[in-house]
Amino acid sequence: MSHPSFDQSFRAALEYLKAAGQLHRVERPVDTRFEIGAVLALRDRGPAQLFSNVMGHTMPVVGNIMNSRERVAALLGVEKADLQQMVLKALASPISPVMVENAPLHEVVHKDLFDLAHLLPVPTWFEHESGAYITAGVIVAKDPETGRRNVSIARLRLDGGGRIMVGIAKNHHLNLLAEKARGLGRKLPIAVAIGNHPAVLLGSQMYLGLGDDEYDVVGGMLGEPLQLTRCLTVPLEIPAGAEIVLEGEIDAGDLIEEGSVSEFHGFYVSYGPGTGGRITCVTHRSDAVYQAILPGYASEHCLLGAIAIEAVCCQALKRVIPAVRRVLVTDGGMGRLHAIIVMHRPRLGEGKRAIILAMGQINLLKHVIVVEDDIDPEDPAQVEWSLAARFRGDEDLVVLPGMKADRCDPVHENLTITKIGMVACTRPGDGERGTLSEFCRPPEDVMRKVRAHIEDY
């Protein structure tokens, strides 16, 4: 075992943002109850926000770290245009983690009776939610039978002392593991890492198969093994570069009513009871920084899911349709519900096939547009132009009523929804001389020459 370099730490990301002038320090006193959330909401797309003077706490809070594609790409060491390709490469070529010792996250240890609300500056976000929520906690658990690891994020409400309530959908892997443990007469050990390298946060959002290790994908994004260290009281491994770790267990038989809670679309929802648990050990750096992600319809919250969803979807589509070049999950679609598929000269019927496959791969998707690779999917004007110029409503519209919906969809009825796809691509013969689809441009040799010297004009 070796001592970690900690280049994979959360504070390495903070140092990068500081050097780039993208970390704004809030000096005035702020309240964890609503005020931090209000600042993050009003500065949703701006610099990351570091609250150095949190009332009742010595630990600072930081948020809005990964609130744009440019920022995410920079923090992961790639150009924005190469972000999806980097994630696809990580999915195809994962790298297993390695173990290290003497991580700074063990500098301070709390094992006696404690109140999480006093130890950590956990914000209360919205008016009608029932308590303070940890929103950037990467939860690590293992299958109680196979020992295979699962890494994910779920909201954790503080319920007094070390008690927590975890909001998990029934089909999420963490819930399946908790139910399996309950069937064996056990509770499920968990560790929650707060303050993580951006690759760890993004990797935790990947839609992998049950039993696939998200840490391996994190290693693929880093280009080297993710450094892990062992927890003190539970048989789990957490990123060595984290700031704070909570160790404890959840009990699938301990159901706690949650009440109204925010969701990615910006509305309140009521999902019924969540899963109860208890944190029995907290460790952290001596100068730890608490990371928070503004929940609801907020850029960082939506974007983390979008980048993961689109990469997993693109990987699945490319396996069966080589013409697929990229998938973009849009901001307006809340980072979950709308996608644009970019294809290179799709054959007749391939666009519709891609739509149906995407909806089958990602249950959340309900509006999907297919464009060709001369369109920038991140430019809404170009996408709309493609619809206006290439979409034929009588032939290119896919309407699928009564499809299975995710419980998160804001307009589902009895967990069903109508899903819609639109193919905005050229047809054989389109673009040939004398057709309406022939695009007007100067001769290509002139365009090429001018493009190469455009700065001289």
Helix, strand, or coil here: 38? helix
Instruction: State the average pLDDT over residues 311-331.
Output: 97
Q: Chain-wide mean pLDDT for the chain?
A: 94
Predicted confidence at residue 92, as pLDDT, reads 97
**Which whole number is the average pLDDT over 357-377?**
96
Encoded amino acid at 104, one letter: P
Same domain, 305 and 279: no
Please report whether residue 3 resides in a domain. Answer: no
Mean pLDDT of 418-425: 97
438: in domain = no
Q: What is the mean pLDDT of residues 168-177?
A: 94
| pTM listed for this prediction | 0.93
**pLDDT tens digits along 278-288:** 999 999 999 99
315: domain CATH number?
3.40.1670.10
On whether both 284 and 317 belong to a single domain, the answer is no
Question: Is 219 in the same domain as 342?
Answer: no
* pLDDT for residue 89: 97
Residues 312, 270 share a domain: no
Contact 404, 427 (CB under 8 A): no
Q: What is the pLDDT of residues 252-270, one digit of tens each?
A: 999 999 999 999 999 999 9
The pLDDT value recorded for residue 242 is 98
CB 372 within 8 A of CB 386: yes
Q: Is the pLDDT of residue 229 over 80?
A: yes
**390 in a structural domain:** yes
CATH number, domain of 114, equals: 2.30.110.10
Residues 67 and 143 occupy one common structural domain: yes
17 and 65 in contact (C-beta within 8 Å)? Answer: yes
The answer to whether the beta carbons of residues 321 and 342 sit under 8 Å apart is no
Contact 167, 159 (CB under 8 A): no
Query: What residue type is 251 in one-letter code?
Result: D
Upper half-sphere CA count for residue 265 (Cβ side, 13 Å): 15
CA distance 138 to 152: 6
389 in a structural domain: yes
Do the domain assignments include residue 249? yes
Q: What is the domain count for the chain?
A: 2
Mean pLDDT, residues 349-354: 97
Asked if 256 and 313 sit in the same domain, the reply is no
Q: Is residue 445 part of a domain?
A: no
Strands (E), 300-415: 324-329, 338-343, 367-372, 397-404
Among candidates 289, 260, 301, which has minimal Cα distance to 40? 301
Same domain, 73 and 214: yes
What pLDDT is recorded for position 4?
Answer: 40
- Looking at 232, 256, 288, the residue that finishes a domain is 288
Kindly state the average pLDDT of the residues 437-455: 88
Q: Calculate mean pLDDT across residues 395-412.
A: 92
Q: Does 46 share its domain with 193?
A: yes
Q: How far apart are CA 351 and CA 346, in angstroms?
A: 6
**How far apart are the C-alpha atoms of 230 and 240, rounded to whole Å?**
9
How do residues 76-92 score in pLDDT, each as one tens digit? 999 999 999 999 999 99
- Domain that residue 389 falls in: 300-424
Q: What pLDDT does 441 receive?
A: 85
Q: Which two tokens stand for residue 362?
A: 């990602």
pLDDT > 90: percent of the chain: 91
- How many whole angstroms separate alpha carbon 423 and alpha carbon 377? 13
Same-domain check for residues 54 and 177 = yes
Helices marked H in 207-298 — which ranges?
A: 214-222
Same domain membership, residue 267 and residue 342: no
